[in-house]
Amino acid sequence: MFKVTHKLFFPLLCCLALGACDHAMPPKQSLEVAVKGMYASALAEDGSMAIIGSIHHGGSLWKLNSQERLYNWNHSDGETTTVVAADFSSDGFWGLTADPATLVLWDTRTGEGTRFWRAPGEILDAVLGPGGNTALLGLSDHSAVLFDIQRGGIRQTLKHSNRVRSVDLSQDGQLALTGSEDYTAALWDLRSGKVITRFKHNDDVQLVKLSADGSIALSVSKYDRALLWHTRTGEIMAELPLKAQHLKRGLAFTVARFSDDNAYLLTGRPDQIVQLWKLPEAAEIARWELPKRDKWKPTSAAVIAVAFDPQPHRFHAIASNGFVHTLETKTPGELPGADGK
C-alpha cells in the first residue's frame, strides 16, 4: 500500500516552487513483456504483478519482481484472446480478463480460470470488485452493468444515453463511476442503484477513476478538460492542465491511479508521458517519458497502466508498445526511507 508523508516527498517539492516539472526522467528499469505491443494491461495495486494482453500471444500473468511469465491466460485452448480490459482485485488474489464478448475470473495463486462467462453486451471496459465477487462492465449498449462474476447474472444496470467507455469502483464496492460518450460521468450508489452525481463535460468521457475511499473522482473528456471533483458535492477540486495543442488533438489522459491517502495522483498519457501530481492542488511534481520501441520511427506508445510501489520513491507503468517500466524520482540512496531517515 502506498502511504507517504510530506517529509518523504520533500525532495520533490522543489518542482512546486518552479511550476510544473518540464524535465521528463527516463525509466529506471524496463522489461519487455510483448514483442509487438498490447491492447490492454493491468498492474496489481502494489505493482508486483501484471496482466498482459499481448497482440500476438493473448493474455498472461507476470510476476514483475522475478521478471517471469507465470501463466498464459487465454479464454479458449489453442487460441489467443484479444484482451480489451483487465484488472486485479485489491487484495491481488484475483485477476480479470475480458475480450469484447467474454470474461474470465482467474486465481492468481494457482493460475486457474475459475469462472467463464458470456458478456451481456460488447465490453469496452471492466473492473473487478472486492474479493473478486463482482465485475463492473462498461458496454457499447449505452449501459454499465454490475455482473456477479462468481454465480453469473446482472445485479444492476446503470443507464447512459451512449456507449460507456470507462468504469471504476470504490474499494468497498459501494460506489461506481461511469464515463460515457453522452458527455457525462456519473457516480452511482450501488446499494440503491441511483445516481448521486452526474457530471457534465463538453465531449466524450474517455476515462474515469475513483479514489479508494470514493471521495474523489477524476473524469477526462477527449477534447475537453481533465477534472478532479468531490463526489459528495460534485464541486470541482482541481483541473489537470493540458496544453492547448494536446486538447486539440484529443491527447487526454489514458490511465490514472490515486494513492491510498489521496495525497497523490499518478497519470499516463498517449504520448509516453507519466506524471505524478500532488493533491488537492494538482501540482505536477514528477514526470517521466517512456521510450519508444524504435526511437527512429515516428510511433508513440500510450501509457495503459500505472501503479504506486510500497517504496515511496518508486512507481510502475506499462506502455502499449510491450514494456513494463519501473520509475523512480531519485535513486534509493537519495530519498529518505519509509521511516523518514
Q: How high is the pLDDT of residue 250?
A: 53
For residue 332, is it within any domain? yes
| Other Cβ atoms within 10 Å of 314 Cβ, number | 20
In a domain, 143, yes or no: no
pLDDT at 44: 97
The domain in which residue 282 lies consists of: 1-32+253-341
- For the segment 80-139, what is each residue's pLDDT rounded down to a tens digit? 999 999 999 999 999 999 999 999 999 999 999 999 999 999 999 999 999 999 999 999
Q: Find the mean pLDDT for residues 58-75.
A: 96
In a domain, 278, yes or no: yes
How far from 270 is each of 162, 209, 303, CA to CA, in Å? Answer: 24, 17, 6
How large is the average pLDDT for residues 181-192? 96
User: Do the Cβ atoms of 324 and 31 come closer than 8 Å?
Assistant: yes
Q: In whole angstroms, what is the distance from residue 201 CA to residue 218 CA?
A: 12
Give CA separation, 230 vs 197, 211, 214, in Å.
10, 10, 9
pLDDT classification of 339: cutoffs 50, 70, 90: very low
pLDDT band at 249 (very low <50, low <70, confident <90, very high): low
pLDDT single digits (tens) 77-97: 888 999 999 999 999 999 999
Instruction: Considering only CA atoms, give the Rg of the chain.
Output: 19
**pLDDT for 291-334, tens place per residue?**
988 765 656 789 999 999 999 899 999 999 999 999 999 644 43
- Residue 10's pLDDT is 34
What is the pTM assigned to this prediction? 0.88
Distance CA 281, CA 253 (A): 18
Residue 243 or residue 220, greater confidence? 220
| Residues with Cβ within 8 Å of residue 6, at least 6 apart in sequence | none
Whether residue 158 is contained in a domain is answered as: no
From 86-100, 188-202, 246-260, 261-275, the region with the lowest mean pLDDT: 246-260
Could you give the number of structural domains in the chain?
1
pLDDT, position 296: 58
269 within some domain: yes
pLDDT of residue 1 exceeding 50, the answer is no
Confidence of residue 232 (pLDDT cuts 50, 70, 90): confident
In a domain, residue 44? The reply is no
Q: 15 lies in a domain?
A: yes
User: What mean pLDDT is predicted for residues 272-296?
Assistant: 91
Q: What average pLDDT score do residues 185-210 get?
A: 94
- Res 300: pLDDT: 76
| CA distances from residue 320 to 205, 254, 303, 305 in whole angstroms, order as listed | 21, 11, 6, 9
Nearest to 28 by CA among 313, 234, 337: 313
Residue 22 resides in a domain? yes
**C-alpha cell of 301?**
506508445
pLDDT in tens, 28-58: 999 999 988 999 999 999 999 999 999 999 9
Q: Give the position of cell 510544473.
A: 20
